[in-house]
Amino acid sequence: MDAIVEAALKKWPHVPACHGWLALDARGDWYMRDDRVQAAGPFPRIKGSRIEHAKLIDFIERNYERDGDGAWFFQNGPQRVYVELEAAPWVWRLGTDYSLTTHSGLAATARQTWLDEHGRLFVDSERGLGLVHTQDMHEAARAVEAGAWQPQPLPFADMAGRFGHILSPQARQRNA
Contact 140, 131 (CB under 8 A): no
- Secondary structure tally for the chain: helices H, strands E: 6, 13
In whole angstroms, give the CA distance from residue 18 to residue 5: 16
pLDDT in tens, 112-152: 999 999 999 999 999 999 999 999 999 999 999 999 999 99
pTM for the full model?
A: 0.91
In whole angstroms, give the CA distance from residue 42 to residue 58: 25
pLDDT in tens, 99-123: 999 999 999 999 999 999 999 999 9
**pLDDT tier at 172, thresholds 50, 70, 90:** confident
Helices of type H across the chain: 3-11, 35-40, 54-62, 137-145, 156-163, 169-175
Question: What is the predicted pLDDT for the residue at 162?
Answer: 97
Question: What is the predicted pLDDT for the residue at 75?
Answer: 93
CB 36: neighbour CB atoms within 10 A? 9
Question: What is the predicted pLDDT for the residue at 98?
Answer: 94
Question: What is the predicted pLDDT for the residue at 9?
Answer: 67
Which residue segments constitute the domains of the chain, with CATH numbers given?
Answer: 3-87+165-175 (3.10.540.10), 90-156 (no CATH)
**pLDDT tier at 176, thresholds 50, 70, 90:** low
CB 5: neighbour CB atoms within 10 A? 17
pLDDT higher than 90, residue 4: no
In the chain, how long is the greatest CA-to-CA distance?
Answer: 53
pLDDT in tens, 51-79: 999 999 999 999 999 999 999 999 998 89
Residue 43 CB burial class (10 angstroms; 0-12, 13-18, ≥19): buried
Question: What is the predicted pLDDT for the residue at 52?
Answer: 98
Question: What is the predicted pLDDT for the residue at 81?
Answer: 97
Question: What is the predicted pLDDT for the residue at 175?
Answer: 77
Residue scoring higher pLDDT (74 or 174)? 74
